[in-house]
Chains A and B, each alone.
Chain A
Amino acid sequence: MSNDIKIRKGLDIKLKGEAEKLVSDAPRSKTFAIKPTDFHGVTPKVIVKEGESVKAGDIIFYSKYSEKVKFASPVSGTLKEVKRGAKRKILEVIIEADSADTYKEFGKKDVGAMSAEEVKQHLLESGCWPFIKQRPYDIVANPDDAPKAIFISALATAPLAADVEFLLGKRKDEFQLGIDAISKLTSGKTHLSVDKSSASFFNEVKGVQLHKVSGPHPAGNVGVQIHHIDPVNSGERVWVINPEDVAIIGSLFKTGKLDLTRTVAVGGTEAPKAQYFRFKIGSNVKDVVGQLPANVRIISGDVLTGDKVANAGYVGYYHNTITLIPEGNDYRMFGWLPFKDNNIPSMSRTSFSWLFPNKRYKVNTNLNGEERALVVTGEMEKVMPMDIYPMQLLKECMASNIEKMENLGIYEVAPEDFALVDYVNTSKLEAQAIIREALDVMIKEVG
């Protein structure tokens, strides 16, 4: 049984440099890093000293304000450095890897015989908990909450995003095992959304409510799906988890080892090899994509929501996409003229690019203008497939007006749902950053 969700509003941005459907193992990095900044709101307490050795799966830090939530090392090796930034904020916990991994033994488990509490304990102790995030607020889930449902989106609609069905390939058994485990964590349903045309094993997964989703980006955003399936009300919690992480959890129960290996799509016009690579979470970017020229933006994640990383930096914890595009730090003479520079995609009809919806574009990071006051109306609504007034919500967010933010649906959105608003808006407003700040205000004021 499946329910169909048809998304009409949105925008597919078609870019050049799609990753070829071919998986290779990336060379093993000498150093790996877990970046606490990937876990929004987590203040880490590092429990391994510099120079101490760890196994793959050993806990290296936990969350200071939610001590049950622990974070594991992806590889075995020695803790090399805890890199700090301004105000001694921990930016990276760097591990110098052994040439091959020795794993911490968690023991094989029979999921069917475990209670919900046992499953939860096992996930917490093994450092798998950070895979589970909560809505509202888009943060790592609080293990003491009782979520009303769990949502998994197995389709990616963002530009050049990794094809989930491809990268999970034949991991059907592990995925099913992972579903069996996490579905115990809620008294409600576990929802799995797949592409409408999907013929993969997702259609045969047991213990989930299947939803067939079609439409343009952000149809693949789990927040959009939640909004259409079972929206989050004030005071409610739902949990979300990425499909690959479900399989990782499944393999933990099956083998007793925490194997934090990801299959990642490397794409974009500047990618030396646009294809899928397999490597451990926290790998060094250089080992995956090689040495790159200076004028390339390396994005851990997709072009709409990813993080900018240095060539010597590390791949983000949750990211299954790396995108490489040229920096746009050059000038364009009279580039503001309507219908000039049609090689830059535009949703607005002041460029001829809207006449060619299937053309693929080479894009760069130029802002294509300057930041301005909010003048144009109606454009944000075109990419917001929810019962939400994006511009009005953003204005209340900027004013930190809590009651109005609640009324306008702040609990139902995550920064990624405003990524297209970032992209399309004429005023070059940073909508994702505004939403993130507003969510932090809500965490502080409402909790």
Chain B
Amino acid sequence: MDALRKKLDQLKKPFNKGEKWEKYAPAINAFDTFLYVPNHTTKEGAHIRDAVDLKRTMITVVLALLPALFYGIYNAGFQYYSQLGEAFTFWDAFAHGAWKVLPMVAVSYAVGLGIEFIFAIYRGHEVNEGYLVTGLLIPMIMPVDIPLWMVAVSVAFAVLIGKEAFGGTGMNILNPALTARAFAFFAYPTYMSGNKVWVSEATNVDAISGETILGTLAAGKEVAYNSWSMFSGSIPGSIAETSTLWIVVGAAILILTGVGSWRIMAGGLVGAAFMGFLFNLWSANELMAFPWHQQLIVGGFAFGLVFMATDPVSAAQTLKGKWIYGIFIGIFSIMIRVFNPAYPEGVMLAILLMNVFAPTIDHYVIQSSIKRRKKRLSTATVKSA
């Protein structure tokens, strides 16, 4: 191990301060720090530091995403073979899904990290780890047949306009992964909605169609799946959002490690269940009559709530604010589903909308602390006068 370290130090020499490739140090550091936590010691402030860092935090989110990703890969193949009516094994299905999904992941990481590296070198800071999560999220929320170049363009749009334009990691208003999806959704609608995009090869093979449950409901038709299929995820949809079961496993990882906000998730569940229940009472059409508990397990709602709404940068930052933010995401998700036939799923727009309102929510939460302070000041002045 020491030999490897020595070799690395030797390799890094031309990138050191004052050497000729100093400018490119962030690029090489990004790789080095993945092998080793650096030897940096505390300079100012507390002399000891917690073991947690951003890399560890982000990797925890990636780990939480993996169950849903693996199921999504399997489900891509499962939908394909079962629609074709061919006999297949688990590994056939997994291989078909992997052949479709892994290139998307590779393209997303290559384009996104490429831009991140360029900006890190240009701005002279280290590469932030946030894109490890964003880069995995983007393919996970796309339809399986979307062309790779569209993935690349969406990623570039999300990173450049959604993030770097605001000043980089930590400054963005909107969730970058959802920005990518929203871009693709509005730029290439025929690849992002309808009843021919949700199952692998549906556009090429006539035998395959496959509509999402929300699409079926919006068209006023009966749903052919039972609750277990909806929960376990053996239904058509974007790659990794179908399985509520594995999303719940991811949510458990996020909540147990404290990396994801349970307040946002709980708020979202309460908001969506409440809204779904209200619509059940109204029951004017198929979507409204769709049982509220099934509203929670179909579409991208669970995935969005667990992995996108909890993005700490674009979410509300105060504890009370997180509750309010989560509840409104739940309410708006179901409301957009039911009222807007153009967008059968509402969670993407609901989260983006609440991203925009998150600073306002925080402002009013913090205002109450400021008011307490001002009130104290006014009574204190009276006392001394």
Contacts and interface: CB of A to CB of B under 8 A. Distances in A.
Contacts of B376: 231, 233
B216 interface: no
B369 A368 contact: no
A304 interface: yes
Given A336-B55, A350-B52, A387-B369, A325 B47 contact: yes
B7 interface: no
Interface string A145-180: 000100000000001000000000000000000000
A134 B11 CA distance: 52
Main secondary structure of the interface of A (DSSP, over half): loop
Interface in B1-55: 1, 5, 33-55
Given A337-B59, A433-B44, A346 B51 contact: yes
Interface string A387-410: 111011000000000000001110
A229 B380 CA distance: 14
Given A333-B35, A377-B315, A426-B57, A346 B52 contact: yes
A430 B44 contact: yes
B49 A366 contact: yes
B79 interface: no
B102 interface: no
Interface string B260-277: 010000000000000000
A407 B50 contact: no
B63 A389 contact: no
A408 to B, nearest CB: 7
Given A233-B376, A378-B319, A370 B52 contact: no
Contact of A331 (B38, B44, B128, B381): B38
Given A331-B36, A349-B256, A408 B370 contact: yes
Interface in B304-356: 312-313, 315, 317-319, 322
Contact of A325 (B39, B48, B54): B48
B130 interface: yes
Interface in A209-250: 231, 233-234, 236
Interface stretch (A111-119, A416-424, A438-446): A416-424
B168 interface: yes
Contacts of A378: 261, 312, 317, 319, 322
Contacts of B60: 338, 350
A353 interface: yes
Interface residues of A, number: 76
B189 interface: no
B126 A389 contact: no
A291 interface: no
Nearest to A230: B380
Interface string A316-356: 00000001010111111111111001001111111101000
B373 A409 contact: yes
A407 B126 contact: no
Contacts of A347: 50, 52
B377 interface: yes
Contacts of A351: 51-52
Contact of B373 (A13, A327, A374, A407): A407
B39 A424 contact: no
B258 interface: yes
B56 A329 contact: no
Q: Which of B168, B373, B384 has the most CB of A within 10 A?
A: B373
B328 to A, nearest CB: 18
A432 B44 contact: yes
A423 B42 CA distance: 10
A365 B366 CA distance: 35
A299 interface: yes
Contacts of A345: 50-51
B156 interface: no
A373 interface: yes
Interface string B214-225: 000000000000
B183 to A, nearest CB: 23
A430 B37 CA distance: 19
A372 B384 CA distance: 46
A344 B366 CA distance: 34
Nearest to A331: B36
B170 A368 contact: no
A373 to B, nearest CB: 3
A353 B51 CA distance: 10
B53 A366 contact: no
B48 A432 contact: no
A303 interface: yes
Contacts of B48: 13, 159, 303-304, 325, 363-365, 423
Given A332-B37, A408-B370, A372 B47 contact: no
B129 interface: yes
Given A308-B47, A336-B37, A349 B317 contact: no
Interface of A: 13, 148, 159, 231, 233-234, 236, 297, 299, 303-306, 308, 323, 325, 327-338, 341, 344-351, 353, 363-378, 381, 387-389, 391-392, 407-409, 419-420, 422-428, 430-433
24 contacts: A233-B381, A236-B380, A303-B48, A328-B39, A331-B36, A332-B36, A345-B51, A347-B50, A347-B52, A348-B258, A348-B259, A349-B257, A364-B41, A366-B40, A366-B49, A370-B54, A372-B169, A375-B312, A377-B261, A388-B369, A424-B52, A426-B57, A427-B54, A430-B45
Q: What 9 A-B pairs come out closest when comparing CB atoms?
A: A369-B53, A373-B170, A335-B37, A422-B46, A344-B51, A336-B55, A346-B51, A331-B36, A348-B52
Interface of B: 1, 5, 33-57, 59-60, 63, 126, 128-130, 168-171, 256-259, 261, 312-313, 315, 317-319, 322, 362, 366, 369-370, 372-374, 376-377, 380-381, 384
